Structures are given as C-alpha cells and as structure tokens.
Amino acid sequence: MVLRCTNLISQRKITISGSKSISNRLLILQSIFPNITIKNLSTSDDTRHMSDALKSSSNKINIRHAGTAMRFLTSFFSVKKNSIVDIYGSKRMHKRPISILVKSLKKIGAKIEYLENSGFPPLRITGHKLQSKKLRIDSSISSQFISSLLLISPKIEGGLEIEMTAKDTSLPYIEMTIDLLKKIGVMVTYHKNIISVNQKEKINAIEITVEPDWSSASYFYSIVSLADIGYSLELTHFNSYSIQGDKRLSEIFELFGVKTTFLDESVLVEKIGEAEQIINLDLSANPDLAQTIAVTCLALKMSCKLIGLHTLKIKETDRIIALENEIRKFNVFPTVTNESIEFNASKAIFNTTKISTYEDHRMAMAFACLAIKTDLEIQDSGVVSKSYPEFWDHLASIGVN
C-alpha cells in the first residue's frame, strides 16, 4: 500500500472500536459467568480469534498470531471441566515463551503438555478443578501471565493468591484485570506486590460497555503532533476515567506540543506548540506506545531515548530490532539493547520509503503516520486487522490516501 497526504483535514471525528485488551478479558469472564453482557466489543482479529475459540466445539484451537488469546485460553481451558484441547498458532506464536504461565498453572493442579518444544506452544490442556495455592510469579516477562491466572481465579477452589516478584511489567494491564473482576462483583485485594482473589460461583447479571482503545488512539496523537499548529482531531467516546494504562499518551504527547481536552463524550486532540528537542521515557508500563513514540521522534527530528522495552523482544516480532531496521532507512542509526532504543534524529532524510511490517500491526500503523512528511509504501498493510481493521479507512477520512 502506498500512502500519500496532500491535504490533511482538520476537525474530523474518528470513532475507534472497543479496547482489544478489555474485550479479551471480558470474553473470558463471560465464558465463566454467562450472565455478563458485553457492548462495543473490539473488531480486531485478536478478539475475533478469542471469541471463535471460546465458542468452538473442536478439540483443536488455532489462535494464529493472537498472543493474548494463547495466554488467556491456556488458563481458561485448564479450568474447563471434561475438556481436552490442543491449542496452537502461527510459527511466531510457537516461538513465544509460555513456561512461566504453564509452571504456575501446574502448581495448582493443571494438566498441560507441550506438544513440540518445552516452554512453548502448542499445548494440550486437560481441564478439571484446580486447587488454591499461593503462587510466586516472575512479573518481569509479561503481565499477561498474571492476568491470565487472575481471570480464572474465581473458579479455583479457595480462590488464588499471587505474589509478583522482580520488576513489574505493564502493570496497568494487571490493574485493568483487577478492575474488571471487581466490576462484576469478585472480591479482590491488592497490596504492594500481592493480589488475592476470592472464589465466586455466581455473579449478578451485568452489562459492560467496552471503552475505545487508547493504544489505537496513539496513531492519531502522532499525526496531530506532526501537523501544523492549530490542527485538531476529535476522538469519540474516550473519557478521563479510563482503566487503560495507555491513556498516559495524553500526558506523553504534551512533550510533542499536543493538548488533550476531555469533552462530555469525546477527547479533542490539538497541536498547540512545538515539540521538545529530546524525549527520554521509561515505557515499562506502556510498551505498546514505544513504536508510535519512536516514529514520532524520527519524524520531528528529535533525539529519543526509550527504556523499559524488554517485553518487545517477544511480541509479534522482535520490535526493538524491527524499529532499528526501519529507522535506519531514514539515515538515522539507533543504538539498541534488549530493553532500550536511543537515537539522535537530527539528520533524518525523508524520501519515498518501503516499510517492512514484520507481521506486526503496530509497525504498520506507527510508520503510517510518517505519510504526513513523505510518501510511503507500507508492505503487508492488511496486518493492521490484528488490532484495528478500520485503520486505513480512518486515515483516508483525514486526507491520508
């Protein structure tokens, strides 16, 4: 797909579908407690794969690239009585580690086998009743392991207590899970690094509307930051009391001269000033924003240092290396480690460039924002359907064709 922007259109309203992260958690909870009604479910491939897996009568479940589905369903099928399920995915999925979650589940009685390589999918899971036990889990690898266990905790006999060790990663996503459990009436206590969830057999009927996705909003924040002063977009149905950690982008983009105003049923995003010359951020709580922020810094020829990125090595691709490879195409040469990326973009050159996406939706969408500066070719552009199928249509609506 070739992108070109000749006339960026201001003051447009954009409606982003429900959060993928919230949707996937609620689908697991709905399967445990069927009297939960969900509105504004995410339209993403990941959520569709999750929904299809939960409805399937097959004993072989293919979740393709959906990492959240792999992790959440591993726990779910462990407590689904009288079921034997093989769960597998793409080649990349079979290289993404899952041993911490599997070991934790086995400690409370789960029956899980590795079908190929130890520590990695695919898995065979035999569901039955699990027993309560205090778990100590390394929380530095992925918050999804913790969330996966928390979501099934109400169905574990005696509930569950988790002690998180090491450096917390993506903590807002764990807090999101806790918030949703409390919202449906499950008793949860969270003090320092210990989370306790009570067993609960039934809940009262409840309807929950999923918030729009803040991670998806980041691309429009980037576009506003690259536009002229006075340019604005309105993102509908966002609010200031969101349970999503990536709401932090409304604060981060102040560094790029972008102001966020929360209205009654939307958020106004407006370019009001010049960006800082240097960005230095710890994104350990918000790793999904890393690509957007790095590309925005590249476009504005800013110096950039992002740390806390260790989980990006095990995402859809090694996102640190992918970022380094594509940024180099603009005559900028980052320094990278296993948890950071740093560059001085003062000599960035913008010519028509082919961007490789590495089967990663966030690579496609983050670099698409550069169309404000230069024509681009995004390879494998359909990959955005993993989280945001309407993305290209929404870009076209503001003049990026």
Rounded alpha-carbon distances, angstroms, from residue 294 to 320, 367, 386: 10, 10, 21
Crossing angle of the two packed helices 20-32 and 171-183, in degrees rounded to 10: 40
Residue 377, beta-bridge partner list: 2, 354
| Residue listed under structure tokens 């999750």 | 50
Establish whether 288 is a catalytic residue. yes
Q: Which of 52, 288, 360, 380 is catalytic?
A: 288
Going by C-alpha positions, the residue among 360, 320, 366 that lies closest to residue 343 is 320
Both tokens of residue 327? 């940024």
Number of H helices, E strands in the chain: 12, 21
Q: Which amino acid, one-letter code, is at 47?
A: T
Dump the DSSP string for 124-187.
Answer: EEE----B--EEEEETTS-HHHHHHHHHHGGGSBT-EEEEEESS--SHHHHHHHHHHHHHTT--
Query: If you ran DSSP here, which 8-state letter would residue 57 be given?
Result: -
Positions annotated as catalytic residues are 288
